[in-house]
Amino acid sequence: MSTTTSGSTHDGGVNDASGGRTVAAPQSSLDASPALRAQGLTKRFKVGGIGSQRLVHAVEDFNIELFHGQVVALVGESGSGKSTVARLLAQTLPATGGRIELNGRVVKVANGRQLRHYCHDVQMIFQDPFASLNAIHTVRYILGRSVAIHRPGLNHAQRTTAIEELLDEVKLSPPRRFIDKYPHELSGGQRQRIAIARTLAASPDVLLADEPISMLDVSMRLGVLNLLADLRDRKHLAILYITHDVASARYFADQTMVMYAGRIVERGDSETVTQRPAHPYTQLLVASAPDPDHLADAAVGARGEPPSLINPPPGCSFAARCPLANQLCRQELPRLIEVSPGHQAACWAHSDHAGAPVSRSNRQGAQS
Ligand SMILES: Nc1ncnc2c1ncn2[C@@H]1O[C@H](COP(=O)(O)OP(=O)(O)OP(=O)(O)O)[C@@H](O)[C@H]1O
Ligand code: SF4
Ligand SMILES: [Mg+2]
């Protein structure tokens, strides 16, 4: 892997701002099959109280493969369904439909014991490291508890060694400087490193990271991303990286998926998706970086809101904001179409369907 690392052991002073990275090819036979695969994942939330038939279509027909040693970024504006996807993949939220496979086996989590078993392999990191760590406990207690759960049978000395190893893993060195601290005595970046260390106690195959750097000071973000990249490479972890930030997806993720109104609208390798976006929504997202929640200010033709998730429109969910939208777009849902090898977009403008809109890039292609 050629991911740039800062070389820093702490969060302070991380200021390496190098840009793109190349995507590594799968390195071993472990890469041949995904660590985690979801097919047709769907979530509809019932809203409106007893007897209500109203459903929020939060996630529709979501497919993903997370390979060992790779990062997939899931990008989209607020409310697009990213966290719901993470909770479905973590099995902390029951799906309305679809299936999940872990290392090739269909997963059915019907009780607490099965969920605990699943959590050995699939761990989550949350946005707010302060909220996710219990303020009244020391690092020793927080990590010791996870070690006790995931590696029962260790005596006191072995457990202390295991805690110190976890601190080393997340570059909080020397461990004795951190082991007896309380969360409020640590910086945001250090707290997030403790949260990451806690997941590592389970020796997981998969990390689901829901906006893990968005609440950190800018100076600490790169350090935490580099740590995750290091863990991906050293421990061969499969990582789902949820973010609003297209630039960090390009920097950190091998693959990028773009979500809009509960559906994937574009996917491919991160360099292609972020540098040559094919879907009009991704084009706006890239143009509006770093603030994807204010697309309307970013480009003419993008005004408007995402569609209602309670009564989703029959056609393309982006039609109300898309400058290319025509009758076909408004009537029929576009499926993901291969734009180039490994690069797909759910947009009629990339199809040869009768009545499809013609994008500027397609028009140029036809003329040349
Ligand atoms: N428990 C729930 N009941 C009803 N609707 C819900 C529930 N949880 C989420 N939703 C809705 O599902 C949609 C997707 O929410 P989700 O939190 O997954 O979005 P997100 O992409 O993570 O947004 P953000 O970037 O703000 O974190 C939103 O419309 C949200 O209001
Ligand atoms: S399908 Fe139509 S409305 Fe949707 S993004 Fe493509 S051109 Fe725009
Ligand atoms: Mg979210």
Judge whether residue 298 has pLDDT over 80.
no
Handedness of CA 165, 239, 248, 215 (dihedral sign): negative
Q: Ligand 2 centroid to 359 CA: how many Å?
A: 9
Residue nearest to atom 26 of ligand 1 (CA): 78
The residue whose CA has the least distance to atom 6 of ligand 2 is: 347
pLDDT digits (tens, 9 = 90+) for 36-90: 999 999 999 999 888 888 999 999 999 999 999 999 999 999 999 999 999 999 9
pLDDT in the model for residue 306 = 83
Which atom of ligand 1 is the closest one to the Cα of 242? 22
Ligand 2 nearest atom to the CA of residue 334, by list position: 1
Q: How confident is the model at residue 361 (pLDDT cuts 50, 70, 90)?
A: low
Nearest protein Cα to ligand 1, atom 16: 81
Q: What was the pLDDT predicted at 366?
A: 44
Model pLDDT, residue 113:
87
* Interacting residues of 87 by C-beta distance below 8 A, sequence separation 6+: 93
C-alpha 88/C-alpha 62 separation (Å) is: 10
Q: DSSP secondary structure string, 98-146? A: EEEEETTEE----SHHHHHHHHHHEEEE-S-HHHHS-TTS-HHHHHHHH
For residues 319 and 357, the answer to whether their CB atoms sit within 8 Å is no
The share of the chain scoring above pLDDT 90, in percent, equals 74
Q: How many helices (H) and strands (E) does the chain have?
A: 12, 12
- Which tokens is 363 given? 């028009």
Over residues 172-190, the mean pLDDT reads 96
Q: What angle do CA 110, 93, 202 make, to 5 degrees?
A: 75
What mean pLDDT is predicted for residues 14-36?
49
Average pLDDT of the residues in 308-315: 91
pLDDT score recorded for residue 290:
63
Residues 6+ apart with CB under 8 A from 305: 320, 321
pLDDT of residue 279: 97
The residue-averaged pLDDT of 183-211 equals: 97
**Which protein residue has the closest C-alpha to ligand 2 atom 1?**
347
Average pLDDT over residues 218-238: 95
The ligand whose atoms approach the alpha carbon of 360 most closely is: 2
Q: How many Å separate Cα 87 from the centre of its chain?
A: 11
pLDDT, residue 111, reads: 87
| Helix segments in the chain, DSSP class H | 82-90, 112-121, 129-132, 139-150, 156-169, 188-200, 218-235, 246-252, 270-275, 280-288, 327-331, 360-367
Ligand 2 in reach of 107 Cβ (< 6 A): no
Closest ligand 1 atom number to CA of residue 84: 18
Q: How many Cβ atoms are within 10 Å of 173's Cβ, its own excluded? A: 14
Q: How far apart are CA 91 and CA 121, in angstroms?
A: 12
Domains of the chain, with CATH numbers? 30-253 (3.40.50.300), 260-367 (no CATH)
* Token code pair at residue 158: 């072995």
Would the pLDDT of 294 be above 50? Answer: yes
Residue-level pLDDT at 183: 96
- When mean pLDDT is compared over 11-15, 176-180, 351-355, the highest value belongs to 176-180
pLDDT score for 50: 82
Which pLDDT value is given to residue 109?
87
Is pLDDT of 319 > 60?
yes
315 lines ligand 2 (CB under 6 A): no
What is the reported pLDDT for 66?
Answer: 98
Residue 142: CB atoms within 10 A of its CB come to 20
Q: How confident is the model at residue 208 (pLDDT cuts 50, 70, 90)?
A: very high
Q: Which residue reads 């070389």 in tokens?
A: 7
The answer on pLDDT for 364 being more than 80 is no
Q: What is the pLDDT of residue 7?
A: 34
Q: Which pLDDT tens digit goes with each residue over 237-290?
A: 999 999 999 999 999 999 999 999 999 999 999 999 999 999 999 999 998 876
Report the nearest atom of ligand 1 relative to the CA of 309: 29
Ligand 1 atom with least separation from CA of 56 = 5
User: What percentage of the chain reaches a pLDDT higher than 70?
Assistant: 85
CA separation for the pair 130, 195 (Å, rounded): 9
Question: To which H or E segment does residue 72 belong?
Answer: strand 71-75
- Are 211 and 127 a contacting pair, CB within 8 Å? yes
pLDDT at 296 over 50: no
d(CA 207, CA 119): 10
In ligand 2, the atom with minimum distance to the C-alpha of 280 is: 5
pLDDT band for 292, please (50, 70, 90 cuts). Answer: low
Cβ contacts of residue 113 below 8 Å, gap of 6+?
none
| Cβ of 348 below 6 Å from ligand 2 | yes
Ligand 1 mean position, distance from CA 316 (Å): 20
**CB-based contact 258:267 (threshold 8 Å):** yes
Ligand 1 neighbours (beta carbon < 6 A):
45, 47, 56, 58, 76, 78-84, 309
- Who wins on pLDDT, 296 or 41? 41
SS3 content of the chain, % helix, strand, coil (to 5): 35, 20, 45
CB of 280 sitting under 6 A from ligand 2: yes
- This prediction's pTM: 0.88
Do residues 249 and 256 touch, judged by C-beta distance below 8 A? yes
Ligand 3 centroid from CA 224, angstroms? 19
Asked which of 102-111, 170-179, 236-245 is least confident by mean pLDDT, the reply is 102-111
| Contact predicate 167/173, CB 8 Å | yes
Lookup result for tokens 């660590």: 35
Q: Best mutation site among 318, 326, 332 for ligand 2, i.e. most ligand atoms within 8 A of its Cβ?
A: 318
- CA–CA dist 43, 51 (Å, integer): 19
DSSP per position, 329-362: HHHSPPPPEEEETTEEE--GGGS--TT----HHH
Confidence of residue 8 (pLDDT cuts 50, 70, 90): very low
